[in-house]
Structure 1
Amino acid sequence: MEQTIIHHMETVRSITEQTLKKIPEEISDTIPKGFNNNIRWNFGHIAFIQEKLVFGLLGEEMKIPRDYEQLFSAGTKPAEWDETPPSFAEIAEILTEQKARIKNFIPGRFHDKLSTPFTNRMGITFYTVGEVLLFSFYHEALHIETIKRLYRTISSY
Protein backbone atom coordinates (compact mmCIF):
# COMPACT_ATOMS: atom_id res chain seq x y z
CA MET A 1 0.00 0.00 0.00
CA GLU A 2 2.87 2.41 0.74
CA GLN A 3 4.09 2.15 -2.85
CA THR A 4 0.58 2.98 -4.11
CA ILE A 5 0.45 6.07 -1.90
CA ILE A 6 3.92 7.18 -2.98
CA HIS A 7 2.94 6.66 -6.62
CA HIS A 8 -0.17 8.79 -6.03
CA MET A 9 1.98 11.55 -4.49
CA GLU A 10 4.19 11.47 -7.58
CA THR A 11 1.11 11.66 -9.84
CA VAL A 12 -0.35 14.64 -7.97
CA ARG A 13 3.00 16.45 -8.02
CA SER A 14 3.48 15.68 -11.72
CA ILE A 15 0.15 17.38 -12.43
CA THR A 16 1.37 20.41 -10.46
CA GLU A 17 4.69 20.46 -12.34
CA GLN A 18 2.96 20.18 -15.73
CA THR A 19 0.52 22.95 -14.81
CA LEU A 20 3.42 25.22 -13.83
CA LYS A 21 5.08 24.61 -17.22
CA LYS A 22 1.89 25.52 -19.13
CA ILE A 23 1.27 28.91 -17.51
CA PRO A 24 3.14 31.97 -18.77
CA GLU A 25 5.08 33.47 -15.87
CA GLU A 26 4.32 37.01 -17.04
CA ILE A 27 0.66 36.61 -15.96
CA SER A 28 1.45 34.85 -12.68
CA ASP A 29 1.33 37.97 -10.49
CA THR A 30 -2.09 39.17 -11.64
CA ILE A 31 -4.78 39.04 -8.95
CA PRO A 32 -8.19 39.17 -10.63
CA LYS A 33 -11.20 40.62 -8.87
CA GLY A 34 -12.66 38.05 -6.48
CA PHE A 35 -9.31 36.38 -5.70
CA ASN A 36 -6.98 36.96 -2.73
CA ASN A 37 -3.80 35.59 -4.25
CA ASN A 38 -2.12 35.05 -7.58
CA ILE A 39 -0.83 32.05 -9.50
CA ARG A 40 2.76 32.42 -8.24
CA TRP A 41 1.53 32.49 -4.62
CA ASN A 42 -0.47 29.30 -5.12
CA PHE A 43 2.51 27.36 -6.52
CA GLY A 44 4.77 28.63 -3.73
CA HIS A 45 2.09 27.82 -1.17
CA ILE A 46 1.88 24.22 -2.40
CA ALA A 47 5.65 23.87 -1.92
CA PHE A 48 5.68 25.50 1.52
CA ILE A 49 2.72 23.58 2.96
CA GLN A 50 3.98 20.23 1.63
CA GLU A 51 7.34 20.90 3.26
CA LYS A 52 5.71 21.87 6.54
CA LEU A 53 3.37 18.86 6.59
CA VAL A 54 5.91 16.20 5.67
CA PHE A 55 9.09 17.54 7.27
CA GLY A 56 8.32 20.46 9.56
CA LEU A 57 5.67 18.73 11.68
CA LEU A 58 8.15 15.92 12.38
CA GLY A 59 10.87 18.29 13.48
CA GLU A 60 12.91 17.50 10.37
CA GLU A 61 14.88 20.18 8.57
CA MET A 62 12.79 22.05 6.04
CA LYS A 63 14.95 22.36 2.93
CA ILE A 64 13.22 25.23 1.21
CA PRO A 65 14.31 28.86 1.27
CA ARG A 66 13.51 30.57 4.58
CA ASP A 67 11.53 33.32 2.88
CA TYR A 68 8.91 30.81 1.67
CA GLU A 69 7.20 30.96 5.06
CA GLN A 70 6.83 34.76 4.91
CA LEU A 71 5.75 34.67 1.27
CA PHE A 72 3.59 31.56 1.03
CA SER A 73 2.26 30.39 4.40
CA ALA A 74 -1.48 30.39 5.06
CA GLY A 75 -2.83 33.91 5.47
CA THR A 76 -0.07 35.63 3.48
CA LYS A 77 -0.87 37.74 0.42
CA PRO A 78 1.23 39.00 -2.48
CA ALA A 79 -0.07 42.52 -1.79
CA GLU A 80 1.92 42.41 1.46
CA TRP A 81 5.20 41.16 -0.02
CA ASP A 82 8.23 43.34 0.74
CA GLU A 83 10.63 41.21 -1.28
CA THR A 84 10.86 39.81 -4.76
CA PRO A 85 9.22 36.37 -4.91
CA PRO A 86 11.00 33.40 -6.47
CA SER A 87 10.75 32.81 -10.20
CA PHE A 88 8.72 29.97 -11.68
CA ALA A 89 12.02 28.19 -12.42
CA GLU A 90 12.99 28.39 -8.73
CA ILE A 91 9.57 27.16 -7.57
CA ALA A 92 9.67 24.34 -10.15
CA GLU A 93 13.06 23.25 -8.86
CA ILE A 94 11.76 23.23 -5.27
CA LEU A 95 8.69 21.19 -6.24
CA THR A 96 10.70 18.60 -8.16
CA GLU A 97 13.41 18.26 -5.52
CA GLN A 98 10.79 18.06 -2.77
CA LYS A 99 9.02 15.19 -4.54
CA ALA A 100 12.27 13.20 -4.62
CA ARG A 101 13.02 13.93 -0.94
CA ILE A 102 9.54 12.83 0.12
CA LYS A 103 9.81 9.65 -1.94
CA ASN A 104 13.05 8.80 -0.12
CA PHE A 105 11.93 9.96 3.34
CA ILE A 106 8.40 8.62 3.71
CA PRO A 107 8.66 4.81 3.31
CA GLY A 108 8.22 3.10 6.65
CA ARG A 109 7.07 6.30 8.36
CA PHE A 110 3.35 6.38 7.56
CA HIS A 111 2.40 5.32 11.09
CA ASP A 112 4.94 7.54 12.88
CA LYS A 113 3.18 9.82 15.35
CA LEU A 114 3.61 13.55 15.06
CA SER A 115 5.32 14.94 18.18
CA THR A 116 2.27 17.17 18.61
CA PRO A 117 -1.06 16.56 16.84
CA PHE A 118 -1.61 19.12 14.09
CA THR A 119 -4.96 20.85 13.60
CA ASN A 120 -5.37 22.64 10.29
CA ARG A 121 -7.40 25.77 9.61
CA MET A 122 -10.45 23.63 8.80
CA GLY A 123 -10.35 22.16 12.30
CA ILE A 124 -9.15 18.70 11.23
CA THR A 125 -6.60 17.13 13.56
CA PHE A 126 -3.88 14.83 12.25
CA TYR A 127 -1.84 12.46 14.40
CA THR A 128 0.47 10.58 12.00
CA VAL A 129 2.79 11.20 9.08
CA GLY A 130 0.48 9.21 6.82
CA GLU A 131 -2.51 11.34 7.73
CA VAL A 132 -0.77 14.61 6.88
CA LEU A 133 0.72 13.19 3.68
CA LEU A 134 -2.68 12.00 2.47
CA PHE A 135 -4.25 15.36 3.35
CA SER A 136 -1.50 17.11 1.40
CA PHE A 137 -2.78 15.52 -1.83
CA TYR A 138 -6.18 17.11 -1.27
CA HIS A 139 -4.56 20.44 -0.39
CA GLU A 140 -2.39 20.41 -3.51
CA ALA A 141 -5.35 19.56 -5.74
CA LEU A 142 -7.40 22.43 -4.25
CA HIS A 143 -4.66 24.89 -5.13
CA ILE A 144 -4.20 23.47 -8.63
CA GLU A 145 -7.90 24.03 -9.21
CA THR A 146 -7.52 27.61 -7.92
CA ILE A 147 -4.57 28.12 -10.27
CA LYS A 148 -6.67 26.88 -13.19
CA ARG A 149 -9.53 29.23 -12.22
CA LEU A 150 -7.08 32.14 -11.97
CA TYR A 151 -5.61 31.29 -15.37
CA ARG A 152 -9.05 31.07 -17.03
CA THR A 153 -10.08 34.37 -15.47
CA ILE A 154 -6.88 36.17 -16.49
CA SER A 155 -7.02 34.69 -20.01
CA SER A 156 -10.57 35.99 -20.49
CA TYR A 157 -9.49 39.65 -20.05
Structure 2
Amino acid sequence: MEQLIFEHMETVRGITEKSIERIPEEMADIIPEGFNNSIRWNFGHIAFVQEKLVFGISGEKLNVPVNYERLFGAGSKPADWSEPPPSFREIASVLAGQKSRIKTFLHGRLDQQLPNPYTNRSGITFYTSGEAFLFGFYHEAIHMETIKQIYRSILNKG
Protein backbone atom coordinates (compact mmCIF):
# COMPACT_ATOMS: atom_id res chain seq x y z
CA MET A 1 0.00 0.00 0.00
CA GLU A 2 2.85 2.38 0.78
CA GLN A 3 4.15 2.10 -2.79
CA LEU A 4 0.68 2.90 -4.14
CA ILE A 5 0.50 6.00 -1.94
CA PHE A 6 3.88 7.23 -3.18
CA GLU A 7 2.81 6.60 -6.79
CA HIS A 8 -0.30 8.68 -6.12
CA MET A 9 1.92 11.47 -4.79
CA GLU A 10 3.90 11.35 -8.05
CA THR A 11 0.66 11.63 -10.04
CA VAL A 12 -0.75 14.53 -8.02
CA ARG A 13 2.53 16.41 -7.92
CA GLY A 14 3.08 15.72 -11.62
CA ILE A 15 -0.13 17.60 -12.39
CA THR A 16 1.08 20.52 -10.28
CA GLU A 17 4.52 20.54 -11.91
CA LYS A 18 3.07 20.47 -15.43
CA SER A 19 0.79 23.37 -14.56
CA ILE A 20 3.57 25.61 -13.23
CA GLU A 21 5.53 24.89 -16.42
CA ARG A 22 2.59 25.76 -18.71
CA ILE A 23 1.30 28.92 -17.08
CA PRO A 24 3.13 32.05 -18.26
CA GLU A 25 4.88 33.79 -15.39
CA GLU A 26 3.38 37.09 -16.56
CA MET A 27 0.10 35.79 -15.09
CA ALA A 28 1.69 34.76 -11.79
CA ASP A 29 0.78 37.79 -9.72
CA ILE A 30 -2.57 38.84 -11.16
CA ILE A 31 -5.37 38.57 -8.61
CA PRO A 32 -8.69 38.68 -10.44
CA GLU A 33 -11.80 40.04 -8.77
CA GLY A 34 -13.29 37.44 -6.45
CA PHE A 35 -9.93 35.88 -5.51
CA ASN A 36 -7.73 36.52 -2.49
CA ASN A 37 -4.42 35.28 -3.84
CA SER A 38 -2.43 34.85 -7.02
CA ILE A 39 -1.31 31.84 -9.01
CA ARG A 40 2.24 32.28 -7.62
CA TRP A 41 0.91 32.35 -4.07
CA ASN A 42 -1.07 29.14 -4.61
CA PHE A 43 1.93 27.23 -6.01
CA GLY A 44 4.14 28.46 -3.17
CA HIS A 45 1.44 27.62 -0.64
CA ILE A 46 1.22 24.05 -1.96
CA ALA A 47 4.98 23.66 -1.50
CA PHE A 48 5.05 25.21 1.97
CA VAL A 49 2.06 23.34 3.38
CA GLN A 50 3.24 19.95 2.09
CA GLU A 51 6.62 20.61 3.71
CA LYS A 52 4.93 21.48 6.98
CA LEU A 53 2.56 18.48 6.87
CA VAL A 54 5.33 15.97 6.22
CA PHE A 55 8.35 17.40 7.99
CA GLY A 56 7.31 20.29 10.24
CA ILE A 57 4.67 18.57 12.33
CA SER A 58 6.96 15.53 12.66
CA GLY A 59 9.49 17.76 14.41
CA GLU A 60 11.89 17.88 11.45
CA LYS A 61 13.58 20.93 9.98
CA LEU A 62 11.79 22.41 6.97
CA ASN A 63 13.81 22.27 3.78
CA VAL A 64 12.19 25.17 1.93
CA PRO A 65 13.56 28.70 1.83
CA VAL A 66 12.99 30.43 5.15
CA ASN A 67 10.78 33.12 3.59
CA TYR A 68 8.21 30.57 2.35
CA GLU A 69 6.31 30.65 5.62
CA ARG A 70 6.04 34.47 5.49
CA LEU A 71 5.09 34.50 1.82
CA PHE A 72 2.97 31.36 1.51
CA GLY A 73 1.89 30.23 4.97
CA ALA A 74 -1.77 30.07 5.98
CA GLY A 75 -3.22 33.55 6.25
CA SER A 76 -0.52 35.18 4.13
CA LYS A 77 -1.31 37.10 0.96
CA PRO A 78 0.61 38.89 -1.79
CA ALA A 79 -0.74 42.27 -0.68
CA ASP A 80 1.33 41.89 2.50
CA TRP A 81 4.60 40.89 0.80
CA SER A 82 7.53 43.19 1.62
CA GLU A 83 10.09 41.15 -0.33
CA PRO A 84 10.22 39.81 -3.87
CA PRO A 85 8.65 36.35 -4.15
CA PRO A 86 10.49 33.41 -5.71
CA SER A 87 10.17 32.82 -9.43
CA PHE A 88 8.07 30.02 -10.88
CA ARG A 89 11.35 28.22 -11.62
CA GLU A 90 12.38 28.42 -7.96
CA ILE A 91 8.98 27.23 -6.73
CA ALA A 92 8.99 24.42 -9.33
CA SER A 93 12.37 23.28 -8.04
CA VAL A 94 11.03 23.11 -4.47
CA LEU A 95 7.95 21.19 -5.62
CA ALA A 96 10.06 18.68 -7.57
CA GLY A 97 12.59 18.21 -4.78
CA GLN A 98 9.96 17.41 -2.19
CA LYS A 99 9.00 14.12 -3.83
CA SER A 100 12.20 12.21 -3.22
CA ARG A 101 12.71 13.72 0.23
CA ILE A 102 9.17 12.73 1.22
CA LYS A 103 9.59 9.17 -0.04
CA THR A 104 12.88 8.78 1.83
CA PHE A 105 11.55 10.32 5.04
CA LEU A 106 8.18 8.54 5.12
CA HIS A 107 9.33 5.12 3.89
CA GLY A 108 8.05 2.66 6.51
CA ARG A 109 6.74 5.50 8.68
CA LEU A 110 3.21 6.22 7.44
CA ASP A 111 1.75 4.69 10.62
CA GLN A 112 4.21 6.47 12.90
CA GLN A 113 2.62 8.61 15.59
CA LEU A 114 3.39 12.32 15.39
CA PRO A 115 5.29 13.76 18.39
CA ASN A 116 2.08 15.69 19.15
CA PRO A 117 -1.32 15.49 17.43
CA TYR A 118 -1.66 18.35 14.95
CA THR A 119 -4.92 20.18 14.30
CA ASN A 120 -5.06 22.24 11.12
CA ARG A 121 -7.03 25.46 10.56
CA SER A 122 -10.04 23.43 9.38
CA GLY A 123 -10.17 21.61 12.72
CA ILE A 124 -8.90 18.27 11.38
CA THR A 125 -6.54 16.52 13.78
CA PHE A 126 -3.76 14.27 12.51
CA TYR A 127 -2.20 11.64 14.75
CA THR A 128 0.15 9.90 12.30
CA SER A 129 2.57 10.97 9.61
CA GLY A 130 0.44 9.18 7.03
CA GLU A 131 -2.75 11.01 7.96
CA ALA A 132 -1.08 14.39 7.52
CA PHE A 133 0.64 13.32 4.28
CA LEU A 134 -2.59 12.00 2.76
CA PHE A 135 -4.41 15.22 3.65
CA GLY A 136 -1.74 16.99 1.60
CA PHE A 137 -3.17 15.43 -1.60
CA TYR A 138 -6.58 16.96 -0.87
CA HIS A 139 -5.00 20.30 -0.02
CA GLU A 140 -2.93 20.31 -3.22
CA ALA A 141 -6.00 19.49 -5.33
CA ILE A 142 -7.99 22.35 -3.80
CA HIS A 143 -5.26 24.83 -4.63
CA MET A 144 -4.75 23.42 -8.12
CA GLU A 145 -8.45 23.99 -8.77
CA THR A 146 -8.06 27.57 -7.53
CA ILE A 147 -5.08 28.04 -9.85
CA LYS A 148 -7.20 26.80 -12.78
CA GLN A 149 -10.02 29.19 -11.87
CA ILE A 150 -7.65 32.16 -11.58
CA TYR A 151 -6.00 31.24 -14.90
CA ARG A 152 -9.37 30.99 -16.67
CA SER A 153 -10.50 34.27 -15.14
CA ILE A 154 -7.36 36.03 -16.41
CA LEU A 155 -7.79 34.54 -19.90
CA ASN A 156 -11.47 35.47 -20.08
CA LYS A 157 -10.79 39.05 -19.01
CA GLY A 158 -8.04 39.58 -21.60
**TM-score under structure 1 normalisation?**
0.99
Question: What per-residue deviation string (whole Å, max 9, x for no partner) do you get for residues 46-65 of structure 1?
Answer: 00000000000011111110
User: After the TM superposition, which parts of structure 1 deviate over 6 Å for at least 4 consecutive aligned residues?
Assistant: none
- Aligned partner of 1:38 in structure 2 is 38
- Aligned partner of 1:141 in structure 2 is 141
* Amino acid in structure 2 at the alignment position of 1:141: A
Q: Counterparts of 2:10 and 2:113 in 1: how far apart (Å)?
A: 23
2:75 is equivalent to residue 75 of structure 1: yes
* Amino acid in structure 2 at the alignment position of 1:52: K
- Aligned partner of 1:47 in structure 2 is 47
**TM-score under structure 2 normalisation?**
0.98
Query: Which segments of 5 or more consecutive residues in structure 2 lack a partner in the other structure?
Result: none
Shift of 1:84: 0.0
- Aligned partner of 2:89 in structure 1 is 89
- Aligned partner of 1:118 in structure 2 is 118
- Aligned partner of 1:25 in structure 2 is 25
Q: Counterparts of 1:103 and 1:111 in 2: how far apart (Å)?
A: 14
Deviates more, 1:111-120 or 1:29-38: 111-120
Q: Counterparts of 2:129 and 2:33 in 1: how far apart (Å)?
A: 37
* Amino acid in structure 1 at the alignment position of 2:100: A
Shift of 1:107: 1.0
* Amino acid in structure 1 at the alignment position of 2:148: K
* Amino acid in structure 2 at the alignment position of 1:42: N
RMSD: 0.6
Q: Counterparts of 1:156 and 1:16 in 2: how far apart (Å)?
A: 22
Shift of 1:104: 1.5
Query: Which segments of 5 or more consecutive residues in structure 1 lack a partner in the other structure?
Result: none
Q: Counterparts of 1:140 and 1:122 in 2: how far apart (Å)?
A: 15
Q: Say how many residue pairs are matched.
A: 157
Question: What per-residue deviation string (whole Å, max 9, x for no partner) do you get for residues 39-84 of structure 1?
Answer: 0000000000000000000111111100000000010000000000
* Amino acid in structure 2 at the alignment position of 1:123: G
Q: Counterparts of 1:25 and 1:100 in 2: how far apart (Å)?
A: 26
Shift of 1:7: 0.4
